[in-house]
A and B are shown apart, each in its own frame.
Chain A
Amino acid sequence: MLHYTLRRLLMAIPTLLAISLIIFLLLGLAPGDPMAQLPLTIPPEVKEKMRQSLGLGDPLMLRYLLWLKQFFLVEPLHVLDTLFGLDLAGESQRVVSWQSRAPVADIIAQRLPQTLWVVGLAYLVGIAIALPIGILSAYRQHSWFDQIGTLVAMIGFSVPTFFTGVVLIVVFSVELGWFPSLYDTTLRVTGWDSFVAQLRQMVLPVTVLALYNASQISRFMRASMLDNLRQDYVRTARANGLSERVVVLVHVLRNSMIPVVTVIAMGVPQIFGGAIITEQVFKVNGIGELLISSIQANDVPMVQTLTFIFAVLIVLFNLIADILYGILDPRIRYD
């Protein structure tokens, strides 16, 4: 198992390096100019100096290496510093946003909790809905429950999240007035009232994302259950006189969960990507909204870092899925 995990870990490193190079080159070679929005009255010499101070005069590969060092060495050290009150990083230069002149990591740290709350809760709710539906519709294949479940799941992943979000806003905040349509970003949870307000404003974005996730996961659960229900060991278990409950919920379910668990792990980065759109619909000030606003403001370091964080999430959760698969299904380890 250790050997297997180590091999997967080592394979992730070149992938990450290649992705970081792609992202860096894409932004570095792009025709956009960060100085384009400055007033024309600034003399060219001053403009040139500003370019130098942003590090734009250096050759591309040097800038790439510098960025790698900042991202993998300096920023983690700063994070450790703030967490434990140390001084490991010293005066080393950080990745600074062109838009706000603050370190990129600090801004992301401010925005991350909102995304994690909304996305994380939505994923948990989605899984909690999806698993029972998947199990039941596989157990009663072709029943009306299965038919309706299939239809709802099909609608769930065919309707784009921005449209579900907008429809929910029209119904529940414009017509019924139950929930606020926009996320109040200044709300601080201090007592019961503000906690309820926070819950109320999270309901709609969480519902949108949860429905989308649930429709996908329930399909996987159903397919995996169906595969297992047809196996010989199920017939053996029934022939041995085990109760139907034990056969389905212990024997079949445990085996069916193996692929579903990995699908759930691999779906995590995707929902961060999906959150970009949902955050935009409800104006949640998470990292997705930060990405869009930085793209619109041409803030290259911020966009680079955020895109790379999304890539790290994908690689990381693929790794977790691989390792989980290795733990749950020992046959995988010996490929």
Chain B
Amino acid sequence: MTEAVAAAPRRRSSQARDVWRQFRSHRGAMIGTVILGAILVVVIAGPWLWHLDPTAVAMRMRNRGPSLEHPLGTDQLGRDMLARLITGGRVSLTVGLTAMALSLVLGTLVGVCAGFLRGLDGILMRLTDLFLALPLLPLLLVMSMLFREPLAQWLGAETGVFLLIVTAIGGTSWMHAARLVRGEVLTLKEREFVLAAQSIGTGRGKMILRHILPNVLSPILVSATLGIASAIITESSLSFLGLGFPPDFPTWGRLLYDAVDQIQLYPMRVILPGIAISLTVLSVNYIGDGLRDAMDPRARAR
């Protein structure tokens, strides 16, 4: 009797463990996780391991190739490329994560409200359709042009531009999450466990937090991973078009943009940040793919 009880928890497989086992069998997703992990470690721990200042100008060391002192060479102002790539990665990844978080919060909020409050459903869904019909890249460019200066004066160049870009990207990419969440909420609302919770007098707020949100978590998680990838691409596109971060503030897109003029002489300076962006986005996309497969019970049964 006691043995059976003791053995039970070992055999019981939780959903998280199932998902993890399925995720591990997805080769692309595992490689993506390792690569993204490596990039994250380098970018987070980089400033402690590599002490050179990414903004220190050294005119005598301009345009040097790789050496012991500067493993990836220096740029046209003699700044160390490795240090700049590390700092740039910090900014690019922070922008990606923050913008994704913002779009997720907005999307979930809109989706839950539309699914739960029948009076708001029509308006919110029309709003979502409207946002989906907006030309996003042109609007992002316009927003960046219009609000960059005032915000930079108000909050300082870095914080101002950071806030602007994060809100602009987050505020224009929540629509898919909203649609997804609304659809899930609408089907969940009819399920027995929700009815049961309702019948014992669960309030609306508690219902959403305890019963609905945990059940829409998996589609949200997948859309979040893919959201990070597109946010990183959007940020680097803005920087590449010269409408993102200011010149002395390295991000991967900005580094690429600064190096394009001298591409014929120093192609490495374009290639390195480009590879950094591409590898990050590729691994994030693979992780998203693996998560989607792992969280889909139908795929797991196979």
Q: What 0/1 pattern do residues 280 to 316 of A give for CB contact below 8 A with B?
A: 1100000000011001101000010011001101110
Least CB distance, B262 to chain A, in whole angstroms: 11
- Tell me which of A19, A32, A151, A157 contacts B146 (CB under 8 A): A32
User: Would you call B141 and A292 a contact (CB within 8 A)?
Assistant: yes
User: Would you call A160 and B237 a contact (CB within 8 A)?
Assistant: yes
User: Would you call B274 and A167 a contact (CB within 8 A)?
Assistant: yes
When distances are taken between beta carbons in the complex, the residues of chain B under 8 Å from A160 are: 233, 236-237, 240, 274, 277-278, 281
Least CB distance, B181 to chain A, in whole angstroms: 22
When distances are taken between beta carbons in the complex, the residues of chain B under 8 Å from A273 are: 135-138
**Interface presence of A46 (CB below 8 A):** no
Q: Which of A128-173 contact B (CB under 8 A)?
A: 150-151, 154-155, 157-160, 162-163, 166-167, 169-170
User: Would you call A30 and B147 a contact (CB within 8 A)?
Assistant: yes
Instruction: Give chain A's interface secondary structure class.
Output: helix
Q: Select the stretch in A20-28, A81-89, A115-123 that faces chain B.
A: A20-28
**Interface presence of A277 (CB below 8 A):** yes
**Interface presence of B28 (CB below 8 A):** yes
Least CB distance, B197 to chain A, in whole angstroms: 31
User: Would you call A158 and B285 a contact (CB within 8 A)?
Assistant: yes
**Interface presence of B99 (CB below 8 A):** no
**Interface presence of A15 (CB below 8 A):** yes
Least CB distance, B132 to chain A, in whole angstroms: 8
- Tell me which of A27, A159, A291, A306 contacts B278 (CB under 8 A): A159
- Tell me which of A157, A277, A280, A303 contacts B142 (CB under 8 A): A303
Q: How large is the interface on A (under 10, 10 to 19, 20 to 34, 35 or more residues)?
A: 35 or more
User: Would you call B263 and A170 a contact (CB within 8 A)?
Assistant: yes
Query: Once bound together, how far apart are the Cα atoms of A145 and B231, in whole Å?
Result: 31
Q: How large is the interface on B (under 10, 10 to 19, 20 to 34, 35 or more residues)?
A: 35 or more
User: Would you call B271 and A15 a contact (CB within 8 A)?
Assistant: no
**Interface presence of B139 (CB below 8 A):** yes
When distances are taken between beta carbons in the complex, the residues of chain B under 8 Å from A32 are: 145-146, 149
When distances are taken between beta carbons in the complex, the residues of chain A under 8 Å from B143 are: 26
**Interface presence of A42 (CB below 8 A):** no
- Tell me which of A162, A170, A295 contacts B145 (CB under 8 A): A295
- Tell me which of A162, A166, A311 contacts B133 (CB under 8 A): A311
Which of A18, A163, A315 has the most chain B CB atoms inside 10 A of its CB?
A: A163
Extra A-B contacts (16), CB below 8 Å, given A169-B263, A280-B240:
A30-B146, A31-B149, A154-B286, A158-B229, A160-B233, A160-B236, A160-B278, A160-B281, A163-B277, A166-B270, A167-B274, A170-B271, A273-B135, A277-B237, A306-B138, A310-B135
Sample of 17 A–B contacts (CB below 8 Å) = A18-B130, A26-B139, A31-B147, A154-B28, A158-B278, A160-B281, A166-B256, A166-B260, A277-B241, A295-B142, A295-B243, A307-B138, A311-B133, A311-B135, A313-B135, A314-B133, A314-B135
